[in-house]
């Protein structure tokens, strides 16, 4: 068995938009008078927009007081903040090591997929000018369940015609690592050893992502 495909998360892996999501939720939380910090934000990583809002509202004791349309308006306001924050993204905003990794995966003849919960993913790939690398970009609007459910990674693998056990998933969110493992894939985690503890390989930053090292460890682990 060997690696056939790499499936990437976007926010916090390919570019630092995890930070923009954090800033945008912070602006909305302040408007609502709900406390918000980086520790709490960890729980929102990988989680879709409406579910993230529900978690924030729950924290503020507001979850059951609002109608669906009020919540939709709030989620829309967060997205307005986010859209403004990502306006200036250019190819220079690729995180370190990502351009090299995409190139190495492609040169090795492997397939590449994107498994992001973000409905802004297409816009961001276009701004980064890396859309051509991706053989599939899963549309999160078509999925029944979000991360940590494995559905998004399984859909990417099916699109790529790769068996899940031959796929490497790259994530920065706890929910994402759980989704990759649940899909039966090899999980590469970008983040703290604590947050990424369920990953097969942990790096503290994307600059440490190395194609040869990942494939070598995959081969060792798939033999045992």
Let me know: does 185 contact 3? Beta carbons within 8 Å: no
Using CB atoms within 10 A of its CB, is residue 44 exposed (0-12), middle (13-18) or buried (19+)? buried
Binding mask 172-211 for Mg ion (x = CB under 5 A): xx--------------------------------------
Q: Which one of 46-54, 105-113, 188-196, 202-210 is the stretch in contact with ligand BG6 (CB under 6 A)?
A: 46-54
As measured in angstroms, the least distance from the Cβ of 21 to Mg ion is 9
Cα 168 from Cα 188, distance rounded (Å): 7
Nearest Cα to 98, choosing from 196, 214, 209, 213? Answer: 209
* 9 noted as active-site residue: yes
Task: Kindly tell me which of 105 and 121 has the beta carbon lying closer to ligand BG6.
Answer: 121
Residues 6+ apart with CB under 8 A from 137: 113, 114, 116, 121, 122, 125, 131
* 135 noted as active-site residue: no
As measured in angstroms, the least distance from the Cβ of 66 to ligand BG6 is 18
**If binding is defined by CB under 6 A, does position 23 make contact with ligand BG6?**
no
The percent helix, strand, coil of the chain (3-state, each to 5) is: 50, 10, 35
Q: Which residue is nearest to ligand BG6 (CB)?
A: 118
DSSP summary character for residue 218? H
Q: Which one of 27-35, 40-48, 186-194, 215-223 is the stretch in contact with ligand BG6 (CB under 6 A)?
A: 40-48
Q: Is 124 strand, coil or helix? A: helix
Binding site for Mg ion (CB under 5 A): 9, 11-12, 172-173
- What residues line the site for ligand BG6 (CB under 6 A)? 10-11, 18, 21, 44-49, 52, 79, 116-120, 173
């Amino acid at each position: 068995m060997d690696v056939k495909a790499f499936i990437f998360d976007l926010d916090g892996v390919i570019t630092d938009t995890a930070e923009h999501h954090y800033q945008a939720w912070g602006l909305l939380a302040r408007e609502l008078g709900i406390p918000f910090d980086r520790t709490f934000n960890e729980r929102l990583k990988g989680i879709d927009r409406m579910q993230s809002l529900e978690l924030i509202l729950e924290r503020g004791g507001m979850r059951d007081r609002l109608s669906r349309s009020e919540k939709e308006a709030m989620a829309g306001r967060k997205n307005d903040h986010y859209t403004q924050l990502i306006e200036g993204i250019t190819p220079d905003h690729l995180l370190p090591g990502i351009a090299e990794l995409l190139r190495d995966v492609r040169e090795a003849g492997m397939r590449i997929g994107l498994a992001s919960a973000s409905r802004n993913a297409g816009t961001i790939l276009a701004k980064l000018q890396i859309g051509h690398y991706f053989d599939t970009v899963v549309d999160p609007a078509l999925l029944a369940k979000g991360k940590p459910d494995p559905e998004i990674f399984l859909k990417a693998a099916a699109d790529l015609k790769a068996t899940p056990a031959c796929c490497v998933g790259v994530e920065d969110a706890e929910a994402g690592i759980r989704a990759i493992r649940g899909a039966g894939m090899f999980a590469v985690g970008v983040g703290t050893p604590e947050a990424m503890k369920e990953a097969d390989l942990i790096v503290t930053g994307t600059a440490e992502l190395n194609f040869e090292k990942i494939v070598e460890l995959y081969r060792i682990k798939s033999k045992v």
